[in-house]
Amino acid sequence: MSFAWAKQYEPQTAFTKWIDEKLPLPRLVYNAVGAGYPVPRNLNYMWNFGVLAGFFLVVQIVTGVVLAMHYAANAQVAFGTVEHIMRNVNYGWMLRYAHANGASFFFIVIYLHIFRGLFYSSYKAPREMIWLLGVVIFLLMMATAFMGYVLPWGQMSFWGAQVITGLFSALPLIGEPLQVWLLGGFAPDNAALNRFFSLHFLLPFVIAGVVILHIWALHIPGSSNPTGVEVKQESDTVPFHPYYTSKDGFGLGVVLILFTTIVFFLPNVLGHPDNYIEANPLSTPAHIVPEWYFLPFYAILRAFTGDLALFGITFVPAKLLGVIAMFASILVWFILPWLDKSPVRSGHYRPLFRKFFWFGLIPTMIVLTICGGAPAEEPYVILSQVATAYYFMHFLVILPIISQIEVPKPLPFSITEAVIGSDKPGTTSGGGKVDPEGVVQDLPGSSPDGSLQPAE
């Protein structure tokens, strides 16, 4: 499960020896995030976001469990209990603002984590399973965040629940009954609020479980790195602790400063004022807008304005097209490892891919985010349609084609060479000695893909 030169856990005291025999939990931690996990020495700051995502999951669970002690999932009183938390619970305002903005920060770090994976092709063999589990985590997060936003039972909570569950009503035949079944009624009410609360409490622990699988799958091939060249020898790696624990500690500090700035000085800037109005089924807000982290997908949903019809016969109504496209926009990530067949991982060595990434995908996501939050009027509708078309073209058409025709730049021989300019014994300082005998053997699951070798 690890490289041959990975340090082994050696219990020092009688007590730790006893523990190691009975339940080797310290050994597990040591091998997972301690000195026993060798990590490429050249990771940049983009590799901080996995740990940060884990941190925000913990923040959400801790603040959420305490908030649940003071909240009541009942449509009559839910809005009032949230105000009770804000006014009467000791530091309740801090807990609630940390939880609400913690969700936003969880998505910020997850999006950076995903885009890191897209740029450095972290989804490629031998790491497909890590990527697939990551997409599962993302889908679970979206469900959890959506249900959490319903709980304060404000206007946006209510109408958001109405709109999102209404998506299922677009399905032919089973749509309407399915929506009624999901909500437990014809409109969001007590039944919906209760089940959303129950699931909102449950799903974070499911996410934590999948995160464990995600990290387990990560430890089989080890972390990827900015060159995309696999680890070959001991000098390519450093132990996770203390090298990356210290770097993650610094990264965590920086993100916490940003997070607390939002929590303490601009706690409502990412929310919507309408959610401070109690849910009212008889009054529809002028603009129903989801939370910012759903906006790109909301824009894709709304991009389909015309029914798929020929000769006056409607084959697929526009609403169903939008729903299919919205789900497809995330599901397409599940086949990404097999769409992009370029043997080179890192975007740094892929001139064509890099252009499409920075000038295609990133502007598209920004345009989709803006259009998702804008009212459904021109020019936003046309912009979102163009961006949606590019989004699908990028993953389904452009990536398969450029991975076929692109001429990648020469890769460095090893990570050590990429970092210090040469890879000769004795020139490295730290990261352990270079041992010619210690050259890594092929890992289980890593294909002996000759093209991953240096191109020259």
Q: Which positions lie near other proteins, rule CB under 8 A?
A: 41, 80, 83, 86-87, 93-94, 97, 238, 242-243, 246-247, 249-250, 252-254, 256-257, 260-261, 263-265, 267-268, 273-274, 276-277, 286, 303-309, 318, 321, 325, 328, 335, 338-339, 341, 377-379, 381-382, 385-386, 388-389, 392-393, 395-397, 400-401, 419-421, 429-431
**Cα distances (angstroms) measured from residue 6 to each of 31, 32, 112, 335, 428:** 8, 11, 29, 33, 18
Residue 14 or 257 having the CB closest to other proteins: 257
DSSP string, 161-199: HHHHHHHHTTSTTTHHHHHHHHHTSSSSSHHHHHHHHHH
Q: To the nearest whole angstrom, how small is the minimum distance from the Cβ of residue 310 to other proteins?
A: 9
Catalytic residue among 234, 291, 417, 423: 291
83 vs 176, beta carbon nearer other proteins: 83
Question: What tokens were used for 317?
Answer: 């109504």
Where residue 426 falls (left for φ over 0; alpha for ψ -120 to 50; beta otherwise) is: left
Annotated catalytic residue, options 7, 70, 84, 219: 219
CB of 127 to other proteins, least distance (A): 17
Q: Which of 7, 70, 84, 247 is catalytic?
A: 247
* Residue closer to other proteins, measured from CB, 202 or 397: 397
Q: Please, what is the minimum distance in Å from the beta carbon of residue 131 to other proteins?
A: 15
- The DSSP output letter for 238 is E
Cβ proximity to other proteins: between 168 and 304 the closer is: 304
Indicate the pairing of strand 237-239 with strand 308-310: unpaired
* Cα 274 to chain centroid, rounded: 27
- Would you say 216 or 413 has its CB closer to other proteins? 413
- Rounded to the nearest whole angstrom, what is the least distance from the CB of residue 431 to other proteins in the complex? 7
Q: Residue 13 burial by CB count (10 A; 0-12/13-18/19+): exposed, middle or buried?
A: exposed
Known active-site residue 7: no
CA distances (Å), 245 to each of 90, 102, 235, 242, 257, in order?
A: 33, 22, 19, 5, 18
223 catalytic per annotation: yes
Which parts of 333-422 fold into alpha helices (H)?
336-339, 351-356, 362-373, 380-393, 399-405, 415-420
121 closest CA partner among 406, 399, 437: 399
394 catalytic, yes or no?
no
CB of 343 vs other proteins, minimal distance in Å: 14
Catalytic residue among 121, 223, 224, 342: 223
As beta bridge partners, residue 316 has 308
> Is residue 247 among the annotated active site residues?
yes
Of 139 and 256, the one with the shorter C-beta distance to other proteins is 256
- Selected catalytic residue, list 128, 230, 236, 248: 248
C-beta of 201 vs 395, nearer to other proteins: 395
**H/E element holding 316?**
strand 313-316
Cα distance between residue 319 and residue 194, in whole Å: 28
Q: Collect all residues with Cβ–Cβ distance below 8 Å to 341 and sequence separation of at least 6.
A: 400, 403, 404
Of the two residues 382 and 439, which places its CB atom closer to other proteins in the complex?
382
Nearest distance, CB of residue 388 and other proteins, angstroms = 6
219 labelled catalytic: yes
Q: How many CB atoms lie within 10 A of CB 170?
A: 20
Q: Phi then psi for 308, rounded to 5 degrees?
A: -80, 100
To other proteins, the closest distance from the beta carbon of 382 in angstroms equals 6
CA distance 32 to 289: 41
What's the length of the chain?
Answer: 456
Please identify every residue annotated as catalytic. 219, 223, 247-248, 291
